[in-house]
Amino acid sequence: MDLGVAHSKLLLRSVAAVRNSAELQMLGVADGETRKMNMCQAINDALRLTLTTDDTAVVFGEDVAFGGVFRCSVGLADEFGGERVFNTPLTEQGIAGFGIGMAAMGHTSIAEIQFADYIFPAFDQLANEAAKFRYRSGNEFNAGGLTVRTPSAAVGHGGHYHSQSPEAFFAHVPGLKVVVPRSAVQAKGLLMSAIRDPNPTIVFEPKILYRSAVEQVPVDDYMLPLSQAEILKPGADVTV
């Protein structure tokens, strides 16, 4: 019996599964070209699409220029240059503050916090500045162009500083949106939506899923809705 995430029946592991996906059919990408990707590659694909289609987009964070610890941004600095994909100092509060400033000036600002465990120094910037910027300026300014990506949760050997899941802290902050993808197809579509959403968004990426499984991911540009649940298994008494 095949066990584990890689063998989940909820994954779109074949082209036929993509063709039959009601969600992707509604988005108009179910019949297009697909490519086998894991979650890390799907995130990279979303970042590349954004940098290609949005001249204001920038990607920054600790070590992102060489691809990041988990290689989610690999190749982007070579393709788009150091002015659009660049490393920052080791300061999570500074990364968040810089990202807010870039977003307020009209950029699509995509920040990476290397591990979610280290996002706490940036909590004040995200909860008290990014989330409230639009409200306290009477909608004159906003940080809606900010997206923060961060690897989260445990992998079994990370210890107490590389295993935390702090998304609940941010889910209770009005003005922020929180996203947690479950698979490659979902990761690409949700990240595209997070980047383009007019509100600051934090994407917590379960790092144990980065290379746990692959799916046939549409190569076209698509966005999955942030404001509604994905129905995996409908039922009369319980729906998953």
Q: What are phi and psi of 161, to 5 degrees?
A: -105, 5
Query: Where in the chain does DSSP place strands (E)?
Result: 34-37, 57-61, 85-87, 108-112, 146-152, 177-179, 201-206, 215-218
Mean pLDDT value of segment 124-152: 97
pLDDT of residue 36: 98
- Which of 195, 185, 150 has the alpha carbon at shortest distance from 34? 185
Indicate whether 3 pLDDT > 90: no
pTM given for the model: 0.96
Catalytic residues: 92, 162
pLDDT of residue 143: 97
| Distance separating alpha carbons of residues 191 and 182, to the nearest angstrom | 12
| Distance separating alpha carbons of residues 67 and 222, to the nearest angstrom | 23
Residues 65-86 have pLDDT tens digits of: 999 999 999 999 999 999 999 9
Q: How confident is the model at residue 42 (pLDDT cuts 50, 70, 90)?
A: very high
